Structure 1
């Protein structure tokens, strides 16, 4: 696991938590017709992720924050989902992201920065997304330094 990214929630979501995520997704998407799949959200350790080949976001247990102090661990549900929505929007603009380390870290950083501008986010969510981007770039730079040694 990354030194900077910490850990998010691993407990499967309750029905109430899933409903909250659906409402947050609707706020973020507004008039955009975006699909949020909730089938795995109640499963422990399930992951929230953008699935390119289906152009959907799968909701997972990690939509909720963890209990570490890293920016990624403490990001709210709204910030997490804004990040995934940003992946979708970038994909729609025909941006094809790298899926392998270390370059996926740059894509994730760009996605968090892009998400930080969403109008529905407050200052704390923006700050956490920007710090998440910083942490991912630091990890990418560390990886580059190690590969030169």
Structure 2
């Protein structure tokens, strides 16, 4: 599966749309939305524990080149992408320490997508993309686990 997200820096109108989506998700109650790098091409949307903030990046938008065969992560809407990052923040605020070794990271990503899929504001396509992303992350974990066992 191909994975592709927007790489072009966001316009002020796009940033405002993201802020409104963040507010609709109730994100401000969990952590800050940092828009300082959103205008930079190639910037990444991610939750940063040390700052308890989600950095808004260019990749919050799906690529305009999404075609059949692209991953659920490539297709995710702005709302679904922000819900996924907000799920990381909620998990952190509950005391969950995110792992950064490859195998555990894949499971944590799957859990965040599953958690995000329960956001009431999401439509059925957003929910489907998040659940499919959780499946993709779990499948990648299973593949690594199987390869490790076979060695």
Query: Quick check: TM above 0.5?
Result: yes
Structure 1 runs (4+) greater than 6 angstroms displaced: none
Contact kept, 8 Å, 1:5 with 1:70, in 2: the verdict is: yes
The whole-number CA distance in structure 1 between the counterparts of 2:105 and 2:72 is 18
Q: Quick one: distance in 2 between partners of 1:114 and 1:22?
A: 21
Deviations 1:61-110 (Å, cap 9, x if unpaired)? Answer: 00001234210000000000000111101101001121120210000000
- Partner of residue 102, structure 2: 101
My pick for the range that moved more, 101-110 or 138-147, is 138-147
Partner of 2:78: 77
* Richer in helix (by share): 2
Match of 2:31 in 1: 34
Asked whether the equivalents of residues 5 and 135 of structure 1 are also in contact (C-alpha less than 8 Å), the reply is no
Q: Number of matched residues?
A: 146
Output the CA distance in 2 between the equivalents of 1:87 and 1:30: 11
Q: Distance in 1 between matches of 2:128 and 2:27?
A: 22
Whether the aligned pair in 2 keeps the contact of 1:5 and 1:132 (CA below 8 Å) is no
Does the 8 Å contact 2:111/2:134 carry over to 1? Answer: yes
What residue number does 1:131 align with? 132
